[in-house]
Structure 1
Amino acid sequence: MRFVFIFIVSLFMALAVSAFAQDLSAGDEALQTRLTAIYKSTDSLSGVTVAVENGVVTLSGEIANSELAKDAMEIAKTQDGTVYIQDQIDRTLVGDSDVGEALTGLQKDVSDITQALPIIGLALLVFAIFFWLGGVVANLQKFWRKIAPNPFLAELLSQTVRVLFIIIGLVGALNLLGAQAMIATILGGAGVVGIAIGFAVRDTLENYLASIMLSLRQPFRQGDHVLIGEHQGKVMRLTSRATIMMTLDGNHLRIPNATVFKAVILNYTTNPERRFSFALGVDAADDPVAAMKIGLDVMRANAFVLDKPGPGAVISEVGDSNIIIKFTGWVDQTSADFGKARSYSIRGVKDKLEAEGFSLPEPIYRVKLDNLAGTELNIPSDQTPKPKSKKPAEALMVDVTPDTTIDTKLEEELSEADEDNLLDDSKPTE
């Protein structure tokens, strides 16, 4: 019984809703017909098209100006059954009312700007004061040099403070003007632009940061003889972008600081004592220990070879036809040229070994010859080694003073250059 009752009630409500919808639809059609007839009877509004749905009147079509569009909307408002009006009318001409509205809006804008002139002037004054203060603080060179003794870092800090003052002044000026939303937009846009610029100038920024680290760490001094990666020369200066060296043949070499910072740096100047080495091979039939003693006596007799640490000799390799002996010695680079000392040591040891009867053979190759029956071979009969002399080693009277040509050229160019140098001899090196 309950289900029958629910069914009857539902059927009754459905019939009621259907009847209401039919009445509403009939009312919309009547309203649309009435408005269309009104507009058609007026020449200036004959181009208006009417559509009505659930009491919402949509006016479209083309008329001359905004004033006529207002008349059409007023007519629609006076009709029974109108709930809401949507204006989709196209204005083909500019009427006097449109010009009047534009002039009125312009006058209002001018009036608002005139009233805001005092606050605008105050905002500009605040920005100008902070801009000026930033310049004054940034120009306090002595102050920044005390905070950051490194000149490059001092300049970076001063410019950073200048930018901070400018940003504070800009934010304060916009805040006075009530443009808080613009502040967030500007800061957000600046962040996005900063990221884009960072990717675009990544290499430049990397060199810039490497310059800061190198100027703080000071891995070399001006005039140091260094090997940076595969590049060798004497350091001229450290700039904000590159390390400039003079190669040993007198040319300028500019290496990006990012490369210098990541490279393996060998500094020959830090420790004046430097070891040289060379190898000589004696015949396999000779006594290598005697050869080592002769070579060491020759090197000890040379004034340019240091006594402490003294020279050394070891057998480094036994070859097919000879025994390789490696000789080492130390020189003081402040009083002796490394290359000359090594060269003269090689010559002295070699000459003394040969004078003592040691042979320094070249590689011997054994060739097997077949089908040579009856062929005479001339083989030397005297294969006895030469007698070993017991003469003491003689010192070489040679000039091994350092070559200062590159140092002189370096000093001349540095005295004429006006480029900033981030290397500071008063600061400790790493």
Structure 2
Amino acid sequence: MDDFMLMVRNAFNAPEMPQQLRRLAAQLALAAAFSTLLSCFLSEPALAQDAASPAAAAPAAANPQATETEAAAAAVPAKVDVQPVAEDVDIAARLERILTATKWFTDPQASAEEGVVFLDGVANRESSKEWATKLASSTQDVVAVVNRMTVAERSAWDFSPAWDQLRVMARTAVQSLPALVLSLLVLLITFVATIVATRSARRLGARRFQNALLSEVAARAAAAPVIIVGLYLAMRISGLTQIAATVLGGTGLIGIIIGIAFRDIAENFLASILISMQRPFQAGDLVTIADHQGFVQKVTTRGTIIVTLDGNHVQIPNATIYKSIIRNHSANPNGRLDFIIRIGYDDSIEQTQEMVLKVLREHPAVLADPEPLILVEELTPTGVNIHAYFWINGRDFSGLKVRSATLRQIIAKLAEAGITMPDSREIIFPLGVPIVEPTRAATRPADHPRVQPKPADASAPAMTRSEGGLRNEREEISEQAKNSRELEPGSNLLKEPAGVQ
């Protein structure tokens, strides 16, 4: 450029050059100088860009083991200013002062070269290191950031993360306090609605079913959906949406699992419902179930308790009762009794029938309707079997006692009338045993007198003290059941019939 200007100046000073040529040369020189200056200005950005590229690549060449975080921090920026306003020294000093002021870093160092910032030092945690990278990237005229800081290792006794977590939890709890209060209000409303639904369903079931167990089942069935909906709404309001969905969706699955695990309990419960609906017996009935005979005392959701005639308590599962044959001796208050009397072949069958029939008709515990029957049943080698049938009121009288009293009276009457009653081991010869001698003719039976039995007491009472009266054992068994220990707690699903104490 200087040589060109010297040549132009010498050309203008040459004396031999004409005036027009000097003017033309001056114009050409000015044009050439302007062209040269313009080319210099146009070539400066390319030179600046070429100079910036090595500077940006210099840190990576100097540190070939840069981490992924440093590579991400040194990403190519979207825009690079050609004439930066802030100097590299000012950028580095400013970043060092900021990093030192935070007290999050130990010996923080910042350097800048051609707008690329290099950070060194020790950060107290990983988040502080990331914060330093973002801070340098946001600084004026910073082209790229290479963060070479290390994260300090925490001490085993450093509980700051736990305290930080507690502070976060406390803040979250305070923020969720309104939702928690509203959830508690929903739970309170659910509790009240459950009570109302339960009582309403129980009253409706009592009027509709007339059964305590069915009323209770209806009450719980009405309360279940109210509780589920209330819990779901409370969990949704408190932010436990996932748990609420799990609870709502898992209700059916839980029911299936419980039904499989407690199959026997569920079976007994369903059987108790069916027994309560069908009512095969009532409290105080004399029944025979699964070879067990006794008076029904109590029916619970698990089993039925009966008291045998010996005073023993027998607890039978309701599922077994529902599947078994039930013989209810108290369903019909009238019951038929029978016994067999054997008389000899020489005794009068008609006379025996009339005597037995008279005793049964006159007995206070024997019913006149149906009428007693005295039937000839069988001819045996030792005599004739006469079968007597008669009916009594089983709710008031004991069959064992009435049978004993009637047999006692009949035996006395037959003995008074001279009716013999042989057993299966002997043969009665009322006329005696004839002895036939070889030299004499056999004696005719008519020549021997009839043997008269010893007369018995004809005035036999209808009952004796030894028989304990004719009343059945219902009252005694009920009294024994009241004084005994309760085998299974819970309400009785059966009600005693009217008039039974």
TM-score normalized with structure 2 length: 0.54
Cα distance, 1:388 vs structure 2: 9.1
Q: Given the alignment of the two structures, is residue 97 of structure 1 paired with residue 126 of structure 2, yes or no?
A: yes
- 2:281 paired with 1:220: yes
Residue identity in the other structure for 1:253 = V
Tell me which of 229, 240, 263 is aligned to 2:324: 263
Higher RCO (C-alpha under 8 Å, 6+ residues apart): 1
Q: Runs of 5+ in structure 2 lacking a partner?
A: 1-58, 77-122, 131-160, 428-432, 436-442
Deviation at 1:364, TM superposition (A): 5.3
Alpha-carbon contact 1:250-1:406 (below 8 Å) kept: no
Match of 1:283 among 325, 344, 365: 344
| Rounded Cα–Cα distance in structure 2 between residues aligned with 1:256 and 1:171 | 37
Match in the other structure for 1:134: 194
Q: Deviations over 1:17-58 (max 9, x none)?
A: xxxxxxxxxxxxxxxxxxxxx99996746xxxxxxxxxxxxx
Matched, 1:398 2:462: yes
Q: 1:196 to 1:100 in 2, by over 3 A?
A: farther
**Partner-residue secondary structure (3-state), 1:154:** helix
Question: Taking structure 1 as reference, are residues 395 and 111 closer, same or farther at Cα in structure 2, changes over 3 Å only?
Answer: same
Q: SS where residue 304 of structure 1 aligns?
A: coil
Q: Distance in 2 between matches of 1:225 and 1:40?
A: 105
Partner of 2:491: 420
> Does structure 1 residue 193 correspond to structure 2 residue 254?
yes
Determine the C-alpha separation between the residues in 2 that align with 1:137 and 1:41: 80
Work out which of the residue numbers 182, 185, 208 in structure 2 matches 1:125: 185
Gap runs ≥5 in structure 1:
1-37, 46-67, 78-93, 367-378
Q: 2:333 aligns with which of 272, 279, 284?
A: 272
SS of the aligned residue for 2:253 comes to helix
Give percent identity, aligned residues only.
Answer: 29
Distance 1:291 1:244, change over 3 A: same
Residue 313 of structure 1 aligns to which amino acid in structure 2? Answer: I
Q: Which residue of 2 aligns with 1:317?
A: 378
Distance 1:318 1:240, change over 3 A: same
Residues 293 and 258 (structure 1), Cα distance of their counterparts in 2 relative to 1, 3 Å cut: same
Deviations 1:309-357 (A, max 9, x none): 2211223333343332211112234554321221222233344445444
Letter of the structure 2 residue corresponding to residue 131 of structure 1: F
Alpha-carbon contact 1:298-1:394 (below 8 Å) kept: no
**RMSD after superposition:** 4.6
Q: Does 1:165 align with 2:236?
A: no
Please give the alpha-carbon distance, in whole angstroms, between the structure 2 residues aligned to 1:200 and 1:282. Answer: 65
Aligned pair count reads: 338
Answer with 211-220 or 282-291: which moved more.
Answer: 282-291
What code does the residue aligned with 1:317 have? E
Residue 299 of structure 1: CA displacement?
Answer: 2.6
Which letter maps to 1:261? Y
